[in-house]
Amino acid sequence: FGEIAMESSYLQMVGLVANGRLMCSSLGLHGDGIELGPVDYVSTRGTQFRVSADLGLESGRRLLVMQKGTIAAAILPDQLIDTFVDRKEIALGVYGASGERRLASRGFFDPRWFGRSRGTPGKVFFDGSYLVSTKRSANFDTVAYVGIPVANLRERLYAFMRVLVPIALVLAAGISFGIIRLARQRASLPAELRAALKRREFELHYQPIVELQTRRIVGIEA
């Protein structure tokens, strides 16, 4: 057990469970065992989850304990959501897909999100206040979710607009200038003649040159 726990930076402990009690673990022997408490839910794969177990091993911090058969592993719930740590306004979490019980979460959560994401591998929806994206694990009975408040989206949109609108105006002015210049060049006489030659729009006509005194044809213009 100790080697397994040492090889993973996420595992707090790995141990042996008997009758709902942790008998021994990577932290040592536990005498008559440590009571793990009731199981919160069982996944479709038969894994038992205790969402907030107090093992009395680390200054009162509660752990997420997952048990399969007689083997249990514990992690800190915060390790599941150790991202976006500088974005406190973002709702973030992981919950069991079958048990619909949150394993770890930060920020706001609406229980109605369970139903909106049920039965789909991934979904994005708007609940009126949050834009929520959910993604179900392909290997485990868990769903991860991220919720961004509308106010935050508006703020970021306005920030992008303040940067992009001036750039777009400059680009539009440059494109308009280029179109006008190209149109003027195309409207010039040399351009019209070149275009007419390409389209074979010229026809050849002959006009006689007549001497007025004798009324004789003395030449021809093409």
State the pLDDT at residue 4. 52
Cβ within 8 Å of residue 158, ≥6 positions away: none
State the pLDDT at residue 5. 47
- pLDDT tens sequence across 24-44: 888 788 888 888 889 888 888
Q: What percent of the chain has pLDDT over 90?
A: 9
98: pLDDT confidence band, cut at 50, 70 and 90? confident
Place of tokens 């959910």: 134
Place of tokens 């005498």: 31
CB 34 within 8 A of CB 40: no
- pLDDT tens sequence across 174-213: 888 888 887 776 667 787 888 888 999 888 899 999 999 9
- pLDDT tens sequence across 43-83: 888 888 888 888 876 566 788 888 989 999 888 887 777 76
H helical segments located in the chain: 2-7, 112-117, 150-187, 189-198
Among residues 145, 137, 144, 122, the alpha carbon closest in space to that of 44 is found at: 137
Degrees to nearest 5, angle at CA 52 with 47 and 54: 110
Place of tokens 């007419």: 196
Greater confidence (107 vs 59) lies with 107
pTM: 0.54
